[in-house]
Amino acid sequence: MSSSSTLHAPTVPDAPEDYPWTGRAVGSALLLSTGIADLDPPGGADAPAEQQARPLVDVAALDAGLAADGAAPLAERTLVVAVGSNQTPATIARKYARSGRDLHPATPFVRCTMHHLAVGHCAHISARGYVPAAPYRAEGERMELVATWFDPGQLAVVDETEPNYDRLRLEAESFPVTLATGERPKHVDVYASRWGVLAHEQPIPLRHRQQEIFDELVALTGSDLLRGDAAEICGRLEANPEALRTLVREHSLVADDGLPRPT
């Protein structure tokens, strides 16, 4: 771990209308019991993970950091690629805290390049009324995302926070991944929507403010449900959890995500 790493305390939950809260470009970090250590080089990465001349993150340093914090090593963890707010250590730290369980918080977050996967919107709202992110198969697409290593207890907690998703395993033969460590894992897990993804002829790519996706859906449906300020709309949807799913299905704005599921 670089000596230039900086520590930041997890913050309070962000406003639902600002989802997905990822801020600047994705990055590598290590959530520890003492805070969040930034693992990216100063100024951030200048190219996708798979195009770096040398690894941006040292695997041995990651394991050393976990060991120093008294946490499980990488070999005992499951690698999960995040597509929404789970890319941020602060979000995961809040999920651990809200679970009330005796969990060690140490969790590595490593940027990665993933092929044939893109990010859109779940065709269902979250409990707080925003439209969350969801992955879908997109042949030829390449994205920079974040891969997270969870120990068994952490993974169980995160699974429980994703009631609208199934955790699926994507094999490298169909979805190649290169981590910022230089590794190319044989497979990764991902949370995929149980309700399909929002689509108009093809999946709608993730909008980085809820106001954008609400305005887009108003243009496609003419519905007053999604008119107005994003914060008010999130509150409206939170009070009526099935309204959005009903609306988009009535207007045929839902597509299958194309991801492999167990038979």
What residue has token string 């980085």?
208
Whats the size of the chain, residue-wise? 263
pLDDT of residue 23: 64
Q: State both tokens at 127.
A: 């409990």
pLDDT of residue 11: 46
3-class secondary structure, 145: strand
pLDDT of residue 6: 42
232-237, Cβ contacts within 8 angstroms, sequence gap of 24 or more? 233/17, 233/129, 234/16, 234/17, 234/128, 234/129, 234/130, 234/210, 235/129, 236/129, 237/125, 237/129, 237/130
pLDDT of residue 4: 37
Q: State both tokens at 225.
A: 């449900």
Smallest CA-to-CA distance from 217 within 153, 121, 93 is with 121
pLDDT of residue 82: 96
CB atoms inside a 10 Å sphere around CB 194: 16
- Are 126 and 180 contacting, i.e. CB atoms less than 8 angstroms apart? no
Smallest CA-to-CA distance from 79 within 181, 187, 180, 182 is with 187
Q: The pTM is what? A: 0.92
85 — phi, psi (to 5°)?
-70, -15
User: Which domains does the chain possess?
Assistant: 16-124+131-208 (3.10.490.10)
- Are 170 and 117 contacting, i.e. CB atoms less than 8 angstroms apart? yes
Strand partners, 171: 187
| pLDDT per residue as tens, the chain (263 positions) | 543 344 344 445 679 998 888 765 578 999 999 999 999 888 777 788 999 989 999 999 999 999 999 999 999 999 999 999 999 998 999 999 999 999 999 999 999 999 999 999 999 999 999 999 999 999 999 999 999 999 999 999 999 999 999 999 999 999 999 999 999 999 999 999 999 999 999 999 999 899 999 999 999 999 999 999 999 999 999 999 999 999 999 999 999 999 999 87
**How far apart, in whole angstroms, are the C-alpha atoms of residue 97 and residue 9?**
13
pLDDT of residue 24: 56
Smallest CA-to-CA distance from 198 within 212, 226, 217 is with 217
- Are 131 and 244 contacting, i.e. CB atoms less than 8 angstroms apart? yes
